[in-house]
Structure 1
């Protein structure tokens, strides 16, 4: 492990640092030959889809992976295994005190395990006995809605479709999903505004844009392949305007590790032409300011007898609600815009001039936008900006939410939705000749509350690590422990295995990189990226253990044990995934003739109705939103309870991390090495609090209840972030996020806007 130090990073993102890190990780896994073979097949035709982010694949590239993708692939392909012997040595109560890094570093789960409460240890169990235990619990529930079926975005389309068919055939729409914790606001806002909860652009549009506006994201760590698209766009003269709370190196400069010129010379690529750091939660005000200026300039141009800036033909033919929106913009004072955004009017003017001068504009965003109380309204404001100038449905223009996990969008497409529409349920009923439940189900926050209240009894997780991913960590742990049965379908040991129900199972599954051979022969699965491209993924490595099964086979085993042969022959579907895809084709629009279309290299495009100017809204038009700016970013009810100087905390990932998986202790681009317990603060904020860099502090969140939520042992690190805002890594800070501090209309935890008190501590004791 690297020595603990803080050393500001001076180089570009990518470059030799990324190459060196990738090399260390690949060769340090003790299976370098297998890892190199895997990397050469990542994101390739007849290869497997990277288990990391959902950015689209660039066809024709021999090396189509990034540093963090290489880490994810090597992490999954480790030769280390968690055997029954490991669990004999380590009781659960002891493992609960280990770090998340330690848990996952132990390797792949070798065989099914059952938690023996008397010995406090996981012990081996056969697959048949595991399935029988699940069936016994499910078939003795008082009501189907006492079952919660959680899904990770890593699951394939085939596994996700089979999972939702299992749940709905059992009688529930309880499908809490990882998307509830991150991008739910995107789906809600886009559904309201344009009738489809997905982005409207393709990867090719980035080559044709005149301007790209990047909001609330850090591609250098979270989706590094995006930097290739931004770098190429910048080199082609595209203006890239970034709004992000922290200064992130990947949005400033990038050196392509696969470019000999950039690796062998000091040359690198400037990414952002303009970089603005708004206050946490201030993006909506900044966007409102841009719209206000565009409307003023449009009126001035018309008064001069010139063409205006607005696309009036587009607005007239394709939109509704403009008058209400114009009234709301006019009523928003500049004083509120400047104060709330944390940006000057001059800075907002610079951004608006870029938008006004571009014929083709893409707006892209991620979790820096979606994890606030007013996230849905903020995304509606982004859509408003694009609607004003007709920046939808033409080459090089549109809306682009950047999803996290590799198939989180595909899961939703094939039915992982706690609020399915009636048309989908009707198709399912007709095709399977089986009734489907109509009651709305639980999202992630509602599921945790239902388990906490004893209303839900059984929790099954198809991947993921909800104990580390969910808010209010201690509350989530109590909710899981309150279940009669928890089942975790996993590749590696994680925190959720230790926050178990009264009975608990760990069921080991194959990874994306591994061969999946069923009765009909080798199988492939499919995924959908952020650009609605569906393509095949087929693993190449040998499974680590004969006891590991595919997610699809595990779901079919649970369903067969619970439901028998109703409403399908579950084993036949597990034997041949083509049969699952035939059911998908019959019930999910856009997947017609899916098995034939998957034969084409790169897969196929599902299409996007809004990109075709077909608006699946109530009135058949795209809708302007007329939301006022929040009265206050931190409600007065909270500030009056604080009894101290509040800061606003955002949780974020380090560079050696993907979601809750921690690969190491370094955050290279932010200059943090060998440690994770740090808090990033502006130098002026450090002085204002009478602290010094290197001091130790504890964080106490303030919420509208009397529950004490605090974490301690954080080292103060100076960073380029607006005064009053601070940042620290999750899952270490997830205990500070109240379960019911959620976004309006989305129920997404507000992990980017947590009011906290910061208190100085003594340096932690080293034992």
Structure 2
């Protein structure tokens, strides 16, 4: 492994050379250059990466990571019967995640043969029949789990939930359960709608943008162009991030020649604060306490007209001790005061956040505290002001809108009943946390995954892998080989689907799909590249095939509906609020806006008011039972966060480098404050074993991680996931959200005695 100096700016010419390298690697250079000219544009396709909104400005509407995602999917490298005859599942399970996906696109449907430990070809009809037979043999529909990834389109998500609910269950675990579930819960409680209140255009009118727990440079780089534009017109950007991330400091837009070809860059953050992990709620509470003590005028008219609970909240703020705020936030009084003054001085303020906020035990309370701050100053419901949870995968928000929800709203179920003239289940189903437990106990027997890589995404890898392998049938609808295909012991199917870049042609012509971005904009997407294999089906066709084999023509003729996505959109128009005239609306350039009730100061809460929340600061980022365990430790206890490298997106690892943090050729690294390392008598490049602390006495441990000194608060650590997922106990989840606490893992370090040898990776 090489440790280089971390980049001095994000973007710039290195992002272009990285993009070109991926295009060459895909072996479809010409096609992918055309794809990059079509991505995120009208009559083109939606990037399979992040959910940031599309802008009409600029020739290119993609970022470095988006280009990687496109080239990764649109490759000529394929794997089928010959590959799986050569490699057993046991062998494949020993390879790392990068190696697995690097092999290429899945090219034909496959069935796991338990007696040989190999996947073997199967026809589509036989695969559908096998699934239907197994589902119909279950004792109850609730023995099936229907998982969804954020890359699924609105059309297939709607069809999928209709199939599952007709089958008789609300078991719809999905990827949002692991990332922004806390955002949906908190916003629903506070303002009555579980989505952000701003649009992309609002960023042009904000004069202050607060960025909490978020690293746009690696996770959604297109956001940096928005922040760059805001910064250059004088908008103050205030960043709160546990690590000093270059993307929030200086950004060189590849679309601007002066920044592409020189060392020039735009300063992004006006102020940058590095709180302790889990300390963001204390930061915001401190900001409010400071402003109240300074008698800073609040928006009394807004509070009186639109809110409820202000008196109890103010009493809670006054009762919060400053020493508690300083200890938990890790910031000094002058830092909190500066942040507070910037917020109060802003005419129009937007707050954004991501998983640095949502993956803690007290995430819901933290988000509600951010909302409290906005309500105090009326910073919601007008142009240039509001709340913006920045979603990850491209259609994770749209999936929820389409009904991928284990606790469906009553009015949605009522509309389904009215449209399809039959009852649907109303009892709550399983989220991801509950589904994994149900599989582990063998209470659930079938899991069908519509995209994603649940084995790599879920915490407590040993527990999760055992749970998935306990399924009597594991069905994975995928474009590439991943860890989830390998957690099998009985029967499993790999069903290869079309990618976003590829033509989906039915007897009714070339099909479009739609997605919803983080700003509630819905727009069409249509691939233009020839499918990499003649054996691929669209996700819509696969779900319809499974439904037909299981239910016949109830409550619809699945094959007829699936032959034309316009027919599915007509069903959506009949049943999902905001989608009337759906087929007509998507013809509009840029798509259409679903609207947001809270942005119009219409509060869909029980009180019809926006609700202040009254939560004391947590005693600790850890639950009491773990604090008791920590107190008995002889070694220093650190708080670890798992995170992405710059060379990955979600669980997809594109390479072993992290240009922005100076890492080359390795992912098993641990970022640590130099003073902390010296206290343990450890040096840079030493290898360590990381052991997490939980109250069940199960040893959760990873080893062979190389220490890297980094600008991070003392007592905090950072490392990549999924490599550190084994350290996150399955039952360490957020209050009210069940989201894994992947940003606040209690761990101890020891020097590794026998450094494991990394698997050699031959990518030639």
- TM range, smaller chain: over 0.9
Query: Hey, what's the Cα distance between the residues in 2 that align with 1:445 and 1:540?
Result: 38
1:648-680 Cα shifts (integer Å, max 9, x gaps):
000000011000000000000000001101000
8 Å CA contact 1:641–1:702 kept in 2: the answer is no
Residue aligning to 2:34: 37
Q: Find 1:683's aligned residue among 674, 692, 697.
A: 674
Deviates more, 1:624-633 or 1:710-719: 624-633
1:655 aligned to which of 629, 646, 656: 646
Q: Is the 8 A contact 1:699 1:758 kept in 2?
A: yes
The equivalent of 1:737 in structure 2 is: 728
What is the TM-score when the length of structure 1 is the normalising length?
A: 0.98
Q: 1:575-614 alignment to 2 at 5 Å?
A: 575-614=563-602
3-state SS in 1 of match to 2:519: coil
**1:686-725 paired onto structure 2 within 5 Å:** 686-725=677-716
Deviation at 1:763, TM superposition (A): 5.9
Determine the structure 2 residue equivalent to 1:302. none
Corresponding position of 1:9:
6
Which residue of structure 2 aligns with residue 78 of structure 1? 75
Match status 1:516 vs 2:504: yes
State the match for 2:176 in structure 1. 179
**Residue 230, structure 1, aligned to residue 227, structure 2:** yes
Residue 193 of structure 1 corresponds to which residue in structure 2?
A: 190
Residues 498-543 of structure 1: per-residue CA shift (max 9 Å, x gap): 0025100000000011000112110000000000000000001100
CA distance in 1, matches of 2:490, 2:605: 45
User: Residue by residue, what CA displacement relative to the aligned partner does 1:101-159 show, whole Å, maximum 9, x if unpaired?
Assistant: 11000001110000001111000000000000000100010000000000000000001
Query: Secondary structure at the residue paired with 1:649?
Result: strand
Q: After TM superposition, give the deviation of residue 641 of structure 1 in Å.
A: 4.7
* Correspondence for 1:107: 104
Do structure 1's residue 91 and structure 2's residue 82 form an aligned pair?
A: no
Stretches of structure 1 that go unaligned for 5 or more consecutive residues are 300-307
Q: Distance in 2 between matches of 1:315 and 1:221?
A: 38
Q: Which residue of 1 aligns with 2:761?
A: none
CA apart distance, 1:765: 5.5
CA–CA distance in structure 1, aligned partners of residues 143 and 635 of structure 2? 42
The answer on 1:503 being equivalent to 2:500 is no
Counterparts of 2:31 and 2:99 in 1: how far apart (Å)? 23
Which residue in the other structure is 1:264 paired with?
261
- Structure 1 residues 682-733: Cα deviation after superposition (integer angstroms, max 9, x where no partner): 1111111111111010100001111110000100000000010000000000
What's the counterpart of residue 420 of structure 2? Answer: 432
Query: Closer, same or farther in 2 for the Cα pair 1:265/1:93, shift >3 Å?
Result: closer
Contact 2:277 2:743 in 1 (8 A): yes
1:183 CA displacement:
0.5
Shift of 1:445: 0.5
Match of 1:204 in 2: 201
Write the distance in 1 (CA, Å) between the matches of 2:90 and 2:575: 46
| In structure 2, distance between residues paired with 1:377 and 1:9 | 34
Q: CA deviation at 1:261?
A: 1.6
The offset of 1:85, in angstroms, is 0.2
Q: Please tell me whether the aligned partners of residues 486 and 501 of structure 1 are also in contact (alpha carbons under 8 angstroms).
A: no
Partner of 1:303: none
2:378 equivalent among 390, 403, 421: 390
For 1:400-443, what per-residue CA distance to the aligned partner results, in whole angstroms no more than 9, with x for missing partners?
00000000000000100000011110110111112100110000
> 1:346 is matched with which residue: 334, 348, 367?
334
User: Aligned runs of 1:239-278 on 2, under 5 Å?
Assistant: 239-278=236-275
Q: Secondary structure at the match of 1:396?
A: coil
What is the CA deviation profile of residues 460-514 of structure 1, one whole-angstrom value per residue up to 9, with x for unaligned ones?
0000001000011011111111111000000000000000251000000000110
Alpha-carbon distance in structure 1 between the residues aligned to 2:376 and 2:629: 36
Q: Work out the CA distance in 2 between the residues paired with 1:749 and 1:638.
A: 20
Runs of 4+ in 1 over 3 A off after TM superposition: none
Corresponding position of 1:320:
308
Deviation at 1:30, TM superposition (A): 1.6
Deviations 1:201-257 (A, max 9, x none): 000111110100000011000000000000000001001000000000000000001
1:566 aligns with 2:554: yes
Secondary structure at 1:49's aligned position in 2? coil
Counterpart for residue 291 of structure 2? 294
Whole-angstrom CA distance in 2 between matches of 1:241 and 1:611: 23
Find the residue that maps to 2:740 and give its secondary structure: coil
Report if aligned partners of 2:7, 2:661 keep a CA contact under 8 Å in 1: no
Kept in 2: contact 1:695–1:763 (CA 8 A): no
Q: What is the deviation of 1:369?
A: 0.2
2:387 is matched with which residue?
399
Is 1:617 the counterpart of 2:634 in the alignment? no
Q: Separation in 2 of the partners of 1:629 and 1:419?
A: 29
In structure 2, what is the equivalent of residue 754 of structure 1?
Answer: 745
Q: CA deviation at 1:643?
A: 4.0
* Whole-Å separation in 1 of the counterparts to 2:35 and 2:99: 24
Alignment match of 2:545 (pick from 548, 554, 557): 557
CA distance in 1 between partners of 2:56 and 2:80 (Å) = 40
Please, which of 710, 718, 727 is the counterpart of residue 718 of structure 2? 727
Whole-angstrom distance in 2 between the partners of 1:31 and 1:352:
51
Tell me how far apart the structure 1 counterparts of residues 5 and 695 of structure 2 sit (CA, whole Å). 38
Q: Is 1:147 aligned to 2:144, yes or no?
A: yes
Aligned pair count? 755
1:546 aligns with 2:537: no
Partner of 1:525: 513
In structure 2, runs of 5+ residues without a counterpart are: 759-764
Please name the residue that 1:369 is paired with. 357
Specify the alignment match of 2:121 in structure 1.
124
Superposition deviation, residue 83 in structure 1:
1.2
The equivalent position to 1:157 in structure 2, one of 149, 154, 157, is 154
Residues in 1 aligned to 2:422 and 2:636: alpha-carbon distance in whole angstroms:
58
Contact 1:157 1:526 in 2 (8 A): yes
